[in-house]
Amino acid sequence: MTDSTAPVQHVFDVLVVGSGLAGLTAALQLAPTHRVAVLTKRAMNDGSSGWAQGGIAAVMAEDDSFDSHVDDTLVAGAGLSDPAATRFVVENAPKTIAWLQEMGVPFSQEDGQNGRLHLTREGGHSARRIVHVTDATGAAVQRTLIGQVRRTPNITLFENHTLVDLITARKLGHTSAAEPDRCLGLYALDEATDKVLTFSAPHTILATGGAGKVYLYTTNPDTATGDGVAAAWRAGCRAANMEFIQFHPTCLYHPHAKSFLISEAVRGEGGRLLLPESAGGTRFMPLHDERAELAPRDVVARAIDFEMKKHGLDCVHLDISHQPLAFILAHFPNIYARCLEFGIDISKQPIPVVPAAHYTCGGVLTDLDGRTDLPGLYAIGETACTGLHGANRLASNSLVECMVFARAAAQDIVRTPRPRAPVLPEWDDSRVTDADEAVVISHNWDELRRFMWDYVGIVRTNKRLERAAHRITLLQGEIQEYYAHFHVTRDLLELRNLVQAAELIVRSAQARHESRGLHFSRDYPAMAATATPTILVPPAA
């Protein structure tokens, strides 16, 4: 059900912030035993999960193995993936597929083979293990789970509610040697009333997605503003590996196409990357990696970036036109239809593509139960750094990570004795006024995304990172002054979180004196002998 007449304070057993695959899975897992609130800052289906085209990686074929999936993940992670976390996800992946089937997700089947799932292959995988719903897996999964959530009585939905900040015992002055800090709930802005409401619960799960909107070009929806990472950092949680931003190598390049990615599966099914005819029209990936188009995304993105700069190009081409139309319509109906809207018939001509920020591999540091440094606070999905992705995410490992850790966090909460939800103070905005000039927010937002793209993109240098860090410091001062004097808005809250995420990305990049996975530095082009995670510790309050 949906709550439309909100009291000043809401009390639940568990608060879930985010309505993507991770958040909805956690809510459904907890609903039989707990009263759950799901908060999302826009509509239920406006997050990144619904945009996932490729699929969900899981060992389902007889000629595949857990060891092979683990090895592929570790190779893609460039030595930085945690072996225990990787095996935990891989071995629990088939169970999550079975659960989604129980929920009613209509996965693609093999032709003429009753009940056998069609498995595709993507870059970096040594076997066909990608379970999918044609080329719109995320959308199909989201539709199914949103329907289940709306029919579940123990789940209350709060759409258009933006996280302002977490409420902790330390912030309220309620800590002592006998009672350490813990998360007590959160404040959220209700856009229908422009009021900040108080939510109280002994357990809070952050499932707010990544921070792709920190960059000028991204495949992410507008909701990907690093909210969970920033809020957890302010609450005293460590962040890890934030320098590893995955740039999807093939985002549709068209002036009227916003954030539309061309799935990894197109290359998995034979798509070839070509230079435009003006630059020779030749295939170039074999010159960069022996795996050619099936190389991991960071390799492909850097190769495209190199060729674009070498030839002065705005984009390169991805060609799947050698496949029959029937094949394209069966495997990529949504990509075919979307490109056709822009006058591109992918059965007859190549697709213009360009790299774009796609996935945040780092995040809030967690354990295998999704627990953060702050008792009572969990982080799952793209918000979290579980150790799975390491220095680079293997294609289609993200959706399965969402579900595996959502289930793990839910099980940990069920095992935990249920303390009473505390009574919390209301949000105090008695000393602020309405903003007189919103242009400050839009200007700073635009400036941030442009210098992050220019200075902290696919290829980095010390000088560029220093420039970015300097600009971030100035922006943080301006934004904090604005935050302290004016009523909060969603735009202000998102900008505040984006700047915090940008700071963590830049600090992490400056701390890594090597090139590994998604982080490539011209000043440190070699990879260090030992793989070490970057762990940032917030300043003591």
**What is d(CA 290, CA 308) in angstroms, rounded to the nearest whole number?**
20
- H helix count then E strand count, the chain: 13, 20
Beta bridge partners of 460: 521
Residues catalogued as catalytic: 297
Cβ atoms 186, 167 nearer than 8 A: yes
Tokens of 261: 């990615």
What length is written for the chain? Answer: 541
R_g (Cα) of the chain, nearest Å? 23
Secondary structure of 456-512 in HEC code, one letter for each residue: CCCCECHHHHHHHHHHHHHHHHHHHHHHHHECCCHHHHHHHHHHHHHHHHHHHHHHC
- Paired sense of beta strands 377-379 and 203-206, if any: parallel
Is 206 in a helix, a strand, or coil?
A: strand
Q: How far apart are CA 17 and CA 24, in angstroms?
A: 10
197-to-156, 425, 429, 467 alpha-carbon distances in Å: 15, 10, 11, 38
C-alpha to C-alpha distance for 240 and 387, rounded to whole angstroms: 9
**Which H helix or E strand runs over 236?**
none
The answer to whether the Cα torsion of 128, 131, 132, 134 is positive or negative is positive
| H helix runs in 120-226, sequence order | 137-150
Q: Check if the beta carbon of residue 403 is closer than 8 Å to that of residue 22.
A: yes
Beta bridge partners of 535: 240
Sequence letter at residue 323: Q
Within 10 angstroms of residue 327's Cβ, the number of other Cβ atoms is 14
Are the CB atoms for 198 and 163 separated by under 8 Å? no
Q: How far, in Å, CA of 172 to CA of 488, rounded?
A: 21
